[in-house]
């Protein structure tokens, strides 16, 4: 394809009207890149919902009931993103067993369970979604003993960040056993843990967590400005109580009728897909990348597994030898120039390697990525 890669397939009038170049995303379902692509079924559901007025709280409840049924859960709530789901869930658990008062946060008047435990290796930027409630984050070392000693009468819950962040922590099954002994709720942030689709019910119905939070705009392929909370009826009732149009902590986290319809359609769509075939498609793309990038002096490409978020699919890891003619950052920058803008991931633990993720690409785009990267590496 060379340097004359056509931009015709990438032309999107609203972006070009604003002087913005569309991107081929070989990095991940990142918020800063727009999440993922919504299928036609989701777009149509959102378009249809936009044409009518509706009792929004009732629609939220009915959509949640249907999603709960589809995902084998007791209850479900569509939030304005995974981070909003954490805020509302933590606020609910802080007030339990009482009904949460939307106006009580972040001052925490009358709330004494104001601490949330997080394992050391799982600390990350989404701590702020916890602290936004007014809660304090209590860090425990990556041992069961440290977790148990961190529990007190002020503990509202443990928040567990699933995927790659949990690799250094004790097994979640052992953590849940201790939490149950002390009557401590467990909330799981599984924002990017679809695939596998079994994550919809694994954390709640198999492991017994009180709730799990997903991003709507990643593997579920729903609206990016939406998320999903699945869990106990008490947890979901609290999320509904705190959410818009009620004034208080959840008022800025409004979910529109379009996002509600889109998330229901996205969950249905995701559950109807042949997940094994999708994952094999990712494997095929990675195999082609390894073959297409072979034979370049100073470059080695291999299959990496799992994904950066711990999902059960591969990436292609491109290693540059010491002394290669370009640095990793120069390669990344060059991929953003030329006929198309291509985004790839820089490996945090290896300064001379990049990762190519097949999850966000069409097969045609995957070919474009290989051709352009080979051009950059050999020019």
> Domain containing 103 — which CATH number?
3.40.640.10
Tens-digit pLDDT profile for residues 84-98: 999 999 999 999 999
**All residues at 6 or more sequence positions from 165 whose CB lies less than 8 Å from its CB, including other chains:** 121, 122, 124
8 has pLDDT over 90: no
Give, for 321, the enclosing helix (H) or strand (E).
Answer: none
CATH number at residue 330: 3.90.1150.180
Q: Are residues 69 and 123 in the same domain?
A: yes
Other Cβ atoms within 10 Å of 325 Cβ, number: 13
Q: Which two tokens stand for residue 345?
A: 């991931």
Q: What pLDDT band is residue 338 in, cutting at 50, 70 and 90?
A: confident
Q: Are residues 123 and 10 in the same domain?
A: no
- Point out the domain boundary residue: 272, 288, 310: 272
* Sign of the torsion formed by the C-alpha atoms of 315, 127, 267 and 164: positive
- Point out the domain boundary residue: 272, 296, 325: 272
Q: Are residues 367 and 240 in the same domain?
A: no
Q: What angle do CA 50, 54, 66 make, to 5 degrees?
A: 90
Q: Are residues 12 and 63 in the same domain?
A: no
Mean pLDDT, residues 65-70 taken together: 98
Partners of residue 157 on adjacent β-strands: 116
Give the C-alpha separation, 379 to 108, whole Å.
Answer: 60
Q: What pLDDT is attached to residue 159?
A: 98
Q: Are residues 174 and 65 in the same domain?
A: yes
Q: What pLDDT band is residue 12 in, cutting at 50, 70 and 90?
A: low
Q: What pLDDT is attached to residue 6?
A: 42
Q: What pLDDT is attached to residue 5?
A: 41
- Burial class of 3 by CB neighbour count within 10 A (0 to 12, 13 to 18, 19+): exposed
The domain in which residue 104 lies consists of 40-272
7 has pLDDT over 60: no
Q: Are residues 237 and 163 in the same domain?
A: yes
Give the C-alpha separation, 174 to 164, whole Å.
Answer: 18
Mean pLDDT, residues 36-65 taken together: 97
**Full-model pTM:** 0.93
Share above pLDDT 70 across residues of the chain, in percent, rounded to a whole number:
97
Q: Are residues 14 and 140 in the same domain?
A: no
Partners of residue 253 on adjacent β-strands: none
Partners of residue 354 on adjacent β-strands: 318, 346
Look at residue 44 and give its three-state secondary structure: helix
Q: Are residues 174 and 46 in the same domain?
A: yes
Q: Are residues 81 and 161 in the same domain?
A: yes
Q: Are residues 281 and 351 in the same domain?
A: yes
- Burial class of 23 by CB neighbour count within 10 A (0 to 12, 13 to 18, 19+): middle
Mean pLDDT, residues 263-282 taken together: 98
- Burial class of 20 by CB neighbour count within 10 A (0 to 12, 13 to 18, 19+): exposed
Question: What does the DSSP 8-state code read for residue 10?
Answer: G
354 has pLDDT over 80: yes
Total structural domains within the chain? 2
* Sign of the torsion formed by the C-alpha atoms of 317, 321, 322 and 323: negative
- Point out the domain boundary residue: 272, 297, 319: 272
Q: Are residues 248 and 349 in the same domain?
A: no
Tens-digit pLDDT profile for residues 358-378: 999 999 999 999 999 999 999
- Helix, strand, coil percentages for the chain (3-state, nearest 5): 40, 15, 40
204 has pLDDT over 90: yes
Partners of residue 317 on adjacent β-strands: 302, 355
222, 264 contact by CB (below 8 A): no
54 has pLDDT over 60: yes
Q: What pLDDT is attached to residue 142?
A: 97
Tens-digit pLDDT profile for residues 104-162: 999 999 999 999 999 999 999 999 999 999 999 999 999 999 999 999 999 999 999 99
Q: Are residues 22 and 79 in the same domain?
A: no
Q: Which two tokens stand for residue 183?
A: 């009557």
Q: Which two tokens stand for residue 274?
A: 């042949």
């Amino acid at each position: 394809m060379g340097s004359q890669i056509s931009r015709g397939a990438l032309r999107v009038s609203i972006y070009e009207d604003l002087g913005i170049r569309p991107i081929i995303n070989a990095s991940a379902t990142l918020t800063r890149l727009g999440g993922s692509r919504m299928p036609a079924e989701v777009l149509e559901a959102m378009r249809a919902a936009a044409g009518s007025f509706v009792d929004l709280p009732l629609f939220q409840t009915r959509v949640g009931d249907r999603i709960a049924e589809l995902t084998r859960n007791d209850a479900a709530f569509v939030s304005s993103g995974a981070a909003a789901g954490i805020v509302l869930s933590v606020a609910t658990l802080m007030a339990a067993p009482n009904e949460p008062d939307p106006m009580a946060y972040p001052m925490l008047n009358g709330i004494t369970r104001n601490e949330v435990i997080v394992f050391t290796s799982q600390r990350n930027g989404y701590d702020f979604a916890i602290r936004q409630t007014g809660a304090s984050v209590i860090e425990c070392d990556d041992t069961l003993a440290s977790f148990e000693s961190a529990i007190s009468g002020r503990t509202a819950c443990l928040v567990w960040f699933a995927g790659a962040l949990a690799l250094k922590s004790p097994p979640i099954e052992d953590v849940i056993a201790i939490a149950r002994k002390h009557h401590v709720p467990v909330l799981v942030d599984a924002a990017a843990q679809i695939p596998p689709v079994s994550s919809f019910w694994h954390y709640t119905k198999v492991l017994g967590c009180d709730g799990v939070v997903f991003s709507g705009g990643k593997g579920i392929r729903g609206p990016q400005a939406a998320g999903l909370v699945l869990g106990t009826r008490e947890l979901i009732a609290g999320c509904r109580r705190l959410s818009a149009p009620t004034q208080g902590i959840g008022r800025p986290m409004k979910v529109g009728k379009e996002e509600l319809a889109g998330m229901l359609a996205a969950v249905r769509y995701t559950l109807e897909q042949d997940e094994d075939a999708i994952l094999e498609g990712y494997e095929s793309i990675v195999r082609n990348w390894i073959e297409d990038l072979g034979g370049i002096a100073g470059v080695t490409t291999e299959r990496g597994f799992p994904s950066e978020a711990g999902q059960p699919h591969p990436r292609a890891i491109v290693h540059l030898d010491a002394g290669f003619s370009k640095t990793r950052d120069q390669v990344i920058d060059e991929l953003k120039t030329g006929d198309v803008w291509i985004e790839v991931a820089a490996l945090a633990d290896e300064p001379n390697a990049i990762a190519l993720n097949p999850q966000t690409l069409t097969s045609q785009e995957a070919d474009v990525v290989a051709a352009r990267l080979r051009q950059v590496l050999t020019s």
